[in-house]
Amino acid sequence: MKIGLYTISFAGVWYDGPALPLGDIFKRAKSMGFDGVEIGARRPHASPMDLDENAREKIRKQAADAGLEIPAVAGYNNFASPILEQRENELLMVREQIKLARDLGAPVLRLFAAWRGITLRDGHGTYDITRQYWQHGYPDVTGAERWRWVTDCLRETADFAGDMGVTLALQNHEPVIRDHLDMLQFIREVDSPALKACLDCPLLTQQDGEYVTNAVRVTGDLQVHSHYGGEFEEQNGEVVQRQIRFARRSLINYPAFIKALKEIGYQGYLCYEFCHPCLGENHELLGVEEVAEQVALAQRYMRNLVG
């Protein structure tokens, strides 16, 4: 297994400060010991509409010069809208993200069934508003309708990805997807060799060892990509997980997850993402260097687990 860094961590959304340029992220990732960088296919880093052929070649060269792979491009899509034109717009963007992955030499494009998105308040990211939009918008839409729209879009997208030589990795991320079994059901229904799985441990609905292990085993060789998150600290020379400030959630069972990945022979990437507000003890938003410290600790933590 290889350890990667996902550029969302330095996108200027979750901390107080601007986004870091891709070149700076590559340098930091290499100095911290990461094997590769997963690139978010949106502004400020790599929206397909901002990158011509020369810009894409520059990104490839920057990564190669740093001795890094680009294991994946991260897409952002919502295939569950009841509005036809919105779904067509999403399909068009995903097509462009697939082309971007191909041009950057990334074998994988991460996809959602549906992504609520984020909004910015005073330049800083929040999930709160789009979560309310999702809960209260389109109250007459049924779950079965959303499922069908997502399936149809995934099927069309997988056909295009297969032609481009890119593998789609469907993440077990809500909404629409409730758990990893929904993710696997979508993959079964689409039935395309170009659609695989991105099973992420933090998104599993339970963190007991048996549940985590079974989720990895039933995903099996469909698993082509994965992420990890959380916060970390050093205790007596060892990096351990710590509770995220003001987040009421249990620690993630990464030991069981990694052990199970080893058992199924997974050889892909685990990419770290810092994707929540970086808060201090008094709810103050901290700066980029606090995130950088977390990124470095996350690399050490996962490298120790992977071995």
- Phi then psi for 44, rounded to 5 degrees? -90, 0
Token pair 């290499």 in the structure block, residue: 30
Residue 200, sorted as left (phi over 0), alpha (psi -120 to 50) or beta, turns out to be beta
Contact 90, 77 (CB under 8 A): yes
DSSP output for 71-129: -EEE-------S-HHHHHHHHHHHHHHHHHHHHHT-SEEEE-S-----EEETTEEESHH
d(CA 223, CA 243): 28
Q: Which helix (H) or strand (E) holds 54?
A: helix 53-65
Query: What's the pTM value of the predicted model, to 2 decimals?
Result: 0.96
Nearest to 288 by CA among 5, 7, 9, 6: 9
Contact call for residues 195 and 150 (beta carbons, < 8 A) = no
Taking residue 241's Cβ as centre, other Cβ atoms within 10 Å add up to 16
User: What is the distance between the alpha carbons of residues 116 and 140, in angstroms, rounded to a whole number?
Assistant: 18
pLDDT of residue 136: 85
- The whole-angstrom separation of Cα 196 and Cα 268 is 13
C-alpha dihedral (70, 155, 206, 276), degrees to nearest 10: 50
Q: What are phi and psi of 167, to 5 degrees?
A: -100, 130
Identify the structural domains of the chain with CATH numbers, from first to last. 2-306 (3.20.20.150)
For residues 196 and 1, give the distance between their C-alpha atoms in angstroms, rounded to a whole number.
Answer: 17
251: DSSP letter = P
CB atoms within 10 A of CB 252: 19
C-alpha span between 188 and 198 (Å, rounded): 14
Instruction: Pull the structure tokens for residue 264.
Output: 């199924």
How many whole angstroms from its chain centre is CA 83? 25
pLDDT tens sequence for the chain (307 residues) = 999 999 999 999 999 999 999 999 999 999 999 999 999 999 999 999 999 999 999 999 999 999 999 999 999 999 999 999 999 999 999 999 999 999 999 999 999 999 999 999 988 999 999 999 998 888 899 999 999 999 999 999 999 999 999 999 999 999 999 999 999 999 999 999 999 999 999 999 999 999 999 999 999 999 999 999 999 999 999 999 999 998 888 899 999 999 999 999 999 999 999 999 999 999 999 999 999 999 999 999 999 999 9
Structure-token pair, residue 157: 């997208």
176: amino acid identity, one letter: V
From start to end of 104-200, where are the E strands?
108-111, 119-121, 124-126, 167-171, 195-198
Helix (H) or strand (E) holding 235: strand 231-235
